[in-house]
A and B are shown apart, each in its own frame.
Chain A
C-alpha cells in the first residue's frame, strides 16, 4: 500500500469538522462495518420471506457481531400474539435458516431486543403503539431515533401502511432527530404506470434517497464481482464490446414450480416476476460503462444509461417468446402442469417461461444481441451470464481439426457454485492436430478463506449503514418497465407455448436462436 493515512488527531481542527470516530481507521480492516444504533421494523414479519430470509439474516448479522450495541427488531403483523409467541417463531426461523450456526448466547442477547406489535394495517391504535414503542426503545435500547422499515407485505397494502406512517410521522427524518428509511421488495408495480404510482407514493412519504428497493440478486457476491472483474482487470475490458463479443446470454432458471404463490404469479408471469428486475439488472451490470467512482450515485447513473439504451426486437413474433410448463418429470419426480397447480385458473395464459432478444444502442454494443431467458420447472436452478465471443477471423488449421471448436465464452455463474468459467480451445493430446473446447474454472468457495454472506445479510447491513450502491433507483425501475410493457402488450391475448417440465423451455425459444444461427448454452 503506497497511500499513507495520517491518524485523525494530526489533522487540523477544521478538517475534522463533523469529527469522525477516532477509533475508525480505513486501514484497519479487521473492524467490521457496523451500522450506528437503529431499529429495524418489519411489516409482515410472520410471512414467508421474513421467516426464511429476514430473521435468519438478522440473526447471522448478530452472530457475526455486525449489529450495533443499540439495536431493536420490531415485528408488525396481523396475529394476536404476544412477545413470547413471536419470540418462539423468530427463534425457530433463526435456528432453521441461519448460515453461521445457532448459538444460544447470541440468540438470548438478540431476543432481548425483539418486540412484536400485533394489529391490522388499518388499525390506528396499533400504529400508535408502534410509534410509541419506537420512542420508548430510544431510551431502553439506545436506538436514537434511527429506524428502517421493511415492507414485507403485498404491494396492495403499501398505500395503507404508508399512510399510517405518514399519520404517525414515523417516516419523518426530522421528527426524532435520526434517520428513517424504508425497504421495498419487488414487485415494484406491474407496469410502468403502476410502478410510477408506487414510486410516487413511497417518495411522498419518505425522501427519495431513503427508499431502498431490494433486488436480492444484487446482494450476491458474484454480481458485485462482475464489476471487479470488468473494472479492476486489464484482461477483459478491451474485449468487452461489439468488436469481440458475438452475443450475450443471460439465464435465470428455476427447477421449482410456482409453489404457493399462484395468486400473485398468475397475475404477473415470468416476465414481470423475474425479467423486469433481476435479469434486466444483470444485463445492466454486464453492459454498463465504467462508473467514474465506485459509489452509489455513479454506478446507478451508468445503469440508468444502459437501461435507457435498450432496444426491443423489430419483429416481436420472432424474438419475444413465452412458454408455460406442462406436466413432466423433473429430478426423478412427476410434477404437475402449471394449469394443474393449486389455485391456477384452468384457462390461464400466464407464462412461466420468457425469452427475448434485446439490443443495447450504444457504440460499445451496437449489433450485439442480448438473449435473456427465465423460466420455472427447468432442469436445474442456475443463474448465469455468458459472454460469447466471436470466432477467430482466420484459423490456420484444416477445417477438420477445429470441428469441435466453438466460440470462446466467459461465463459468470451467479448461483449456484458462484464463480467464473472461461471456455477456450485446446489441443487434444495425440499425434494429430485437433482442437476442442475446454473450461477453466474459478470457484469462489475455493479462492477465498471467507464464505460469501447471504444476499439478504449484505443488503440489510447496507440499508442500516445507508449505502445505496446495490439498490436500484426508481428511474431504473421505470426504465425496466419501459422494456417489459411493450412485450406484455405484444403477448396480450396470445397463448404461451407449452414445454414439458424438466426441459430447457419451449421449442420456439430454440428456434429464436436458431434463426440467428446460434444455440442456447446449456448452463
Chain B
C-alpha cells in the first residue's frame, strides 16, 4: 500500500510508516539494513527499481531522498510504501525543497532501522567531498558511481582524495567478474607474472580500477590500451617465459578465455544491471581494502586504508559560492570545526542562524 503525504514533516512519516507496517503485519520482521538512496527526480524510478531488485527476497528499508530546488519554500513531500510491489520491503521516497534539502538528515535519522547497518548510495551527482552530505556521515557503507560523472577518471581521482574506509564505487563492482576470471585463470600457474594489459574504451573508470588492482596485486606495470568498447573489452596477464592469459570480450556479452597451452574457452560475461551491482555491494558491509589498494594504485594517493573510517560533517551552503570556495580550499587540511567558524565569520551580513552543522530540527522556517 502506498500513502502519499503532502507538505508533511519527519514525525508524520515515522508515524505513517509504523502504521503501514502494522497493517501489513510486518511488525515482527527484521530488517537487514537501511539503504539510503540520493537521487535526482528523473532517476528515482531507476534507483528504486535497482534497490528493489538488489534487496529482492530480503526486507530492507529503502529511503530515497530527492533534493529539489534549494531556492524554494521549505517543504517535504513523502511517499510511504510497505509490501505490495516492493515485495517484503518498505520504501519511503522523500522530496525536499528549500533549505530543508541541506538538512535531509533531520528527516532521515529517525527513519533508520534500529542498530542495522546504513548504506548510502548516490545515484548520480555525488558531492565533491562526501562529508559535505550529512547522509554520508551516518552511513557505515557509502556507494558512489564515478561512471555517471562527465569525466569519470577525474571523479575517480577525487574519490581517492576523499576516500575513507567503507567507501566503494560501482565502477569497482563492475570489474568483479573480470577479476574473478583472471584470478581463476592464474590459480594453477606457478610462474611469475611479468606484465599485464587492460583494453577498454577511453576514460573508463572500471578499466582503470582493474588495471590498478592488477598493479597492486602483481607488482608489474599494467598498460591501458584504448579500444572501442563497450566498457572493458579485454585483459591479459603475461607470465613466465612469455606465456599469456587473455580474456577478450568484444561485444559486452560473451568472453573468450585463452591461455598458452590450453584450448580457448567461451564464457558468458555479461555487463550487469544496476540492481545486480547494488546486490553485490550490499552483500558485504565491511571496508573493502582491495578497492582501496586498487584506487591507490590508480591515483598514487597513499595510505588510503589507514584513514579514519568516520567522517565528520562539513557544512557547506551551495547558495554561498564565496563560502564554498573557502571551504573547498581549507577542506584538505582543516577540520570540520574550523570550517564552521569560517562560515560563521562570513555570515555577519546574512541573517543565517548560527546553528549550521547537522541541525536536528526539521529545517522549517530557516530559509535564508
B122 to chain A, nearest CB (A): 19
Residues in A with CB closer than 8 Å to B298 are: none
Residues in B with CB closer than 8 Å to A28 are: 179, 289-290
Residues in B with CB closer than 8 Å to A65 are: 177, 180
Q: Which residue of A lies closest to B168 (CB)?
A: A30
Once bound together, how far apart are the Cα atoms of A374 and B109, in whole Å?
Answer: 49
Residues in A with CB closer than 8 Å to B289 are: 1, 27-28
CB proximity to B under 8 Å, residues A1-38? 1, 7-9, 18-19, 21-25, 27-32, 34, 36-37
Do A442 and B217 have beta carbons less than 8 Å apart? Answer: no
B89 to chain A, nearest CB (A): 11
* Candidates A8, A37, A140, A450; contact of B283 at CB < 8 Å: A450
Cβ of A441 within 8 Å of any chain B Cβ, yes or no, is yes
Do A449 and B60 have beta carbons less than 8 Å apart? Answer: yes
* Residue from A28, A112, A141 having most chain B Cβ neighbours under 10 A: A28
Do B265 and A69 have beta carbons less than 8 Å apart? Answer: yes
In this complex, how many residues of chain B approach chain A with their Cβ under 8 Å: the count is: 56
Supposing A34-B180, A447-B32, A449-B32 touch, asked if A22 and B283 sit within 8 A by C-beta, the answer is no
Do B33 and A109 have beta carbons less than 8 Å apart? Answer: no
Cβ of A106 within 8 Å of any chain B Cβ, yes or no, is yes
Do B179 and A23 have beta carbons less than 8 Å apart? Answer: yes
Once bound together, how far apart are the Cα atoms of A34 and B219, in whole Å?
Answer: 23
Supposing A69-B185, A69-B257, A142-B263 touch, asked if A446 and B32 sit within 8 A by C-beta, the answer is yes
Do B217 and A25 have beta carbons less than 8 Å apart? Answer: yes
Residues in B with CB closer than 8 Å to A34 are: 180, 183-184, 187
In this complex, how many residues of chain A approach chain B with their Cβ under 8 Å: the count is: 45
Do A141 and B263 have beta carbons less than 8 Å apart? Answer: yes
Once bound together, how far apart are the Cα atoms of A76 and B58, in whole Å?
Answer: 40
Do A448 and B265 have beta carbons less than 8 Å apart? Answer: no
Cβ of A308 within 8 Å of any chain B Cβ, yes or no, is no
Mark each residue of chain A from 138 to 154: 1 if its CB lies under 8 Å from any CB of chain B, else 0: 01111010000000000
Do A448 and B58 have beta carbons less than 8 Å apart? Answer: yes
Q: Which residue of B lies closest to A446 (CB)?
A: B30
Cβ of A400 within 8 Å of any chain B Cβ, yes or no, is no
Q: Which residue of A lies closest to B188 (CB)?
A: A36
Cβ of A88 within 8 Å of any chain B Cβ, yes or no, is no
Do B187 and A36 have beta carbons less than 8 Å apart? Answer: yes
CB proximity to B under 8 Å, residues A21-63? 21-25, 27-32, 34, 36-37
Cβ of B346 within 8 Å of any chain A Cβ, yes or no, is no
CB proximity to B under 8 Å, residues A400-434? none
Do A23 and B57 have beta carbons less than 8 Å apart? Answer: no
Supposing A25-B217, A446-B29 touch, asked if A30 and B179 sit within 8 A by C-beta, the answer is yes
Q: Which residue of A lies closest to B261 (CB)?
A: A142
Do B263 and A68 have beta carbons less than 8 Å apart? Answer: no
Do B176 and A30 have beta carbons less than 8 Å apart? Answer: yes
Cβ of B242 within 8 Å of any chain A Cβ, yes or no, is no
Cβ of A451 within 8 Å of any chain B Cβ, yes or no, is yes
Once bound together, how far apart are the Cα atoms of A443 and B30, in whole Å?
Answer: 8
Supposing A22-B186, A22-B218, A69-B181 touch, asked if A449 and B262 sit within 8 A by C-beta, the answer is no
Once bound together, how far apart are the Cα atoms of A109 and B214, in whole Å?
Answer: 27
Do A7 and B176 have beta carbons less than 8 Å apart? Answer: no
Supposing A23-B183, A448-B58, A449-B32 touch, asked if A70 and B217 sit within 8 A by C-beta, the answer is no
* Candidates A1, A144, A447, A449; contact of B188 at CB < 8 Å: A144
Cβ of A489 within 8 Å of any chain B Cβ, yes or no, is no
* Candidates A1, A140, A441; contact of B286 at CB < 8 Å: A1
Cβ of A105 within 8 Å of any chain B Cβ, yes or no, is yes
Residues in B with CB closer than 8 Å to A24 are: 183, 187
Mark each residue of chain A from 119 to 160: 1 if its CB lies under 8 Å from any CB of chain B, else 0: 000000000000000000001111010000000000000000
Q: Which residue of A lies closest to B293 (CB)?
A: A7
B286 to chain A, nearest CB (A): 7
Do B262 and A70 have beta carbons less than 8 Å apart? Answer: yes
Do A449 and B217 have beta carbons less than 8 Å apart? Answer: no
Interface residues of A (CB under 8 A from B): 1, 7-9, 18-19, 21-25, 27-32, 34, 36-37, 65, 68-70, 103, 105-106, 108-109, 112, 139-142, 144, 441-443, 445-451
Interface residues of B (CB under 8 A from A): 28-33, 54-55, 57-60, 173, 176-177, 179-190, 192-193, 214, 216-219, 253-254, 257, 259, 262-263, 265-268, 270, 279-280, 282-284, 286-290, 293
Q: List 24 A-B contacts (CB under 8 A).
A: A7-B216, A8-B217, A9-B219, A22-B186, A22-B193, A22-B217, A28-B179, A28-B289, A30-B280, A30-B284, A32-B180, A34-B184, A34-B187, A36-B188, A140-B263, A142-B259, A142-B262, A443-B30, A446-B30, A447-B32, A447-B58, A448-B58, A449-B60, A451-B57
